Amino acid sequence: MIELNQYYTPESTSLALASMLDISNVRSCIELSAGEGALVGPLKASNKNIKFTTVDIDQSNSTKLANLYPNDVHICGDALDKNIGLKNDSFDLAICNPPFSYVDNSDKYSYLLTGKFGTLLSKNKRLRMEVLFILRNLQLLKPGGTLAVIVPDFILNSRPLLNFRRILFDRFELFNVVECGYGSFKKTEAKTYILFIKKVNKSKFSKVVPVISIVNGVLKKNSIDIENAIKTVEKVEPNSGYEIFRGCTSSKLCRESRRDFHHNYSGLENFSNVTYKVYSAELPKFKYAKFNDVLINRVGRSVGDTVILASSNVIVSDCVIVIRFHRASLREAFIENWTRDRADWIKLHVKGTCAKNISISSIKSYISTLGKVV
């Protein structure tokens, strides 16, 4: 098996995807990055008349699929190769679990980066593979066709892809979402979603999109206001009464300073005071926390753990978020509420494909809710 940051689809996710699709009139289906064909089986069980075309770069996967489904078309090659032999506007349905990773931008992908997508992404040095696979699948679909694609939380909720989502969901219809729990895929802690997108021209955003959450085998129904999410996701009003930032140097560089520094250490008691050796002068190229700052672990197994700096300035690594309050009432409100809410808040807001992390913008959003109690 070729390692391409590909997380093969577990049976529970495959069944969830298949159960959400109306495939009674589907006659053709494309699966790019098909892997071992976990998404094919459940659909074939529901409609034996579907003609599948699968593409995978791993010869062993293509051979396995050809043996399992000899009457379908199986291509071994790069699914994003324009000349692989696939025609645009040819398939009723597309299903996809793309690699969760970045790729260096090159002319190879220029055929995908057209129109507004090209204006937005063509000058980027690196591109998300999931974005490229979404665009390729939509090219291959017939007008009115449906794409069901598995993506990590980053694709649906991150600030860097805000404008991509705005263009995508302005042009095509997101009509259903399945939220999969953490650990749904082996070898990654990523929170994942299945997005169901219809290739239809749209003049405005859908107002409400149903969401089904799958956590420990339990289904919960919810909904998201996609217009509001696309326009305001992670948007926070300018700060009032505090500063927030993260360290700018790795733990390795902090260690090389030969000074004490604060890192995402595990084992520290939450909301305890921490102290470090005091030095007469600050070093350039490092960021420092100051007395009474709130220090929150941004990433790792101890993500969200929180302590208070009880000594003078100390270097902070890039794994730590620092909150410096300028209003005592806001600081007191934050500590009181964060003590109560932290554990549940982390479960709802932690992100990450390889390592769990929280964002500054999400903490800003939390602090903004405290204005009502200060």
Q: Report percent pLDDT > 70 for the chain.
A: 82
pLDDT value of residue 348: 87
pLDDT value of residue 179: 81
3-class secondary structure per residue, 271-295: CCEECCCCCCCCCCCCEEECCCCEE
Range 314-332 average pLDDT: 93
Q: DSSP state, 371?
A: G
Q: Do 95 and 52 meet the contact criterion of CB atoms below 8 Å apart?
A: no
Which tens digit of pLDDT belongs to each residue from 154-212? 788 777 888 999 899 989 999 988 887 655 544 445 578 889 999 997 655 556 787 77
Last residue of a domain, one of 210, 232, 254: 232
Whether 180 and 321 map to the same domain: the answer is: no
Q: Do 99 and 57 meet the contact criterion of CB atoms below 8 Å apart?
A: no
Strand partners, 141: 91
Whether 127 and 249 map to the same domain: the answer is: no
Separation between Cα atoms, residue 73 and residue 53, nearest integer Å: 5
Q: What angle do CA 261, 266, 269 make, to 5 degrees?
A: 95
Whether 213 and 120 map to the same domain: the answer is: yes
Instruction: Pick the closest to residue 121 from 97, 103, 141, 139 (CA basis).
Output: 103
Question: Please, is 356 exposed, middle or buried when counting C-beta atoms within 10 Å of its C-beta (0-12, 13-18, 19+)?
Answer: buried
Whether 175 and 194 map to the same domain: the answer is: yes
Range 38-56 average pLDDT: 91
* Among the ranges given (44-48, 99-103, 106-110, 221-225), the one the predictor scored with the smallest mean pLDDT: 221-225
Residue ranges making up the domain that contains 97: 11-232
Whether 150 and 253 map to the same domain: the answer is: no
Q: Looking at the domain assignment, is residue 4 inside a domain?
A: no
For 304: left if phi > 0, alpha if psi spans -120 to 50, otherwise beta; the answer is: left
Q: Looking at the domain assignment, is residue 32 inside a domain?
A: yes
Last residue of a domain, one of 212, 232, 252: 232
Residue 310: CATH number of its domain:
3.90.220
pLDDT value of residue 3: 42
Q: Looking at the domain assignment, is residue 324 inside a domain?
A: yes
pLDDT value of residue 60: 94
Residues 6 or more apart whose CB falls under 8 angstroms from that of 54 comprise: 30, 31, 34, 37, 40, 62, 65, 69, 72, 73, 74, 75
As for how many domains the chain has, the answer is 2
Range 205-221 average pLDDT: 66
Separation between Cα atoms, residue 136 and residue 127, nearest integer Å: 14
pLDDT value of residue 307: 96
Unique residue bearing structure tokens 């990590």: 152
pLDDT value of residue 269: 93
Whether 85 and 226 map to the same domain: the answer is: yes
Q: Looking at the domain assignment, is residue 344 inside a domain?
A: yes
- Whether 141 has a pLDDT exceeding 80, the answer reads yes
* Three-state secondary structure call for residue 66: helix
Separation between Cα atoms, residue 96 and residue 260, nearest integer Å: 47
* Among the ranges given (63-67, 272-276, 280-284), the one the predictor scored with the smallest mean pLDDT: 280-284
Separation between Cα atoms, residue 236 and residue 370, nearest integer Å: 13
Instruction: Pick the closest to residue 154 from 191, 126, 118 (CA basis).
Output: 191
Whether 144 and 288 map to the same domain: the answer is: no
Instruction: Give the pairing of strands 209-215 and 126-128.
Output: unpaired
20-55 b/e (C-beta count within 10 Å ≥ 16 → b): bbebeebebbbbbbbbbbbbbbbbbeebeebebbbb
Q: How many CB atoms lie within 10 A of CB 347?
A: 11
Q: Looking at the domain assignment, is residue 97 inside a domain?
A: yes
181-212 b/e (C-beta count within 10 Å ≥ 16 → b): ebebbeebbbbbbbbbbbbeeeeebeeebeeb
- Whether 324 has a pLDDT exceeding 90, the answer reads yes
Last residue of a domain, one of 211, 232, 253: 232
Q: Do 290 and 262 meet the contact criterion of CB atoms below 8 Å apart?
A: no
* Three-state secondary structure call for residue 49: coil
Confidence of residue 260 (pLDDT cuts 50, 70, 90): very high
Q: Looking at the domain assignment, is residue 194 inside a domain?
A: yes
Whether 357 and 304 map to the same domain: the answer is: yes
Confidence of residue 118 (pLDDT cuts 50, 70, 90): very high
pLDDT value of residue 226: 65
* Among the ranges given (149-163, 222-236, 301-315, 317-331), the one the predictor scored with the smallest mean pLDDT: 222-236
pLDDT value of residue 187: 44
Instruction: Give the pairing of strands 287-289 and 73-76.
Output: unpaired
Q: Looking at the domain assignment, is residue 5 inside a domain?
A: no
Q: Looking at the domain assignment, is residue 291 inside a domain?
A: yes
Range 318-341 average pLDDT: 92
Whether 212 and 298 map to the same domain: the answer is: no
Which tens digit of pLDDT belongs to each residue from 261-270? 999 998 899 9
Confidence of residue 14 (pLDDT cuts 50, 70, 90): low
Confidence of residue 112 (pLDDT cuts 50, 70, 90): very high
Whether 202 and 333 map to the same domain: the answer is: no
Instruction: Pick the closest to residue 91 from 138, 133, 135, 46 (CA basis).
Output: 138
Mean pLDDT, the chain, rounded, equals: 85
pLDDT value of residue 4: 46
* Among the ranges given (24-28, 89-93, 179-183), the one the predictor scored with the smallest mean pLDDT: 179-183
- Whether 130 has a pLDDT exceeding 90, the answer reads yes
Q: Do 191 and 180 meet the contact criterion of CB atoms below 8 Å apart?
A: yes
To the nearest 10 degrees (0 to 180), the angle between helices 328-349 and 360-368 is 120
pLDDT value of residue 285: 87
Confidence of residue 42 (pLDDT cuts 50, 70, 90): confident
Whether 101 and 69 map to the same domain: the answer is: yes
Alpha carbon distances (Å) from 295 to 21, 28, 92, 264, 359: 45, 54, 51, 9, 13
Whether 222 and 262 map to the same domain: the answer is: no
Residue 47: CATH number of its domain:
3.40.50.150
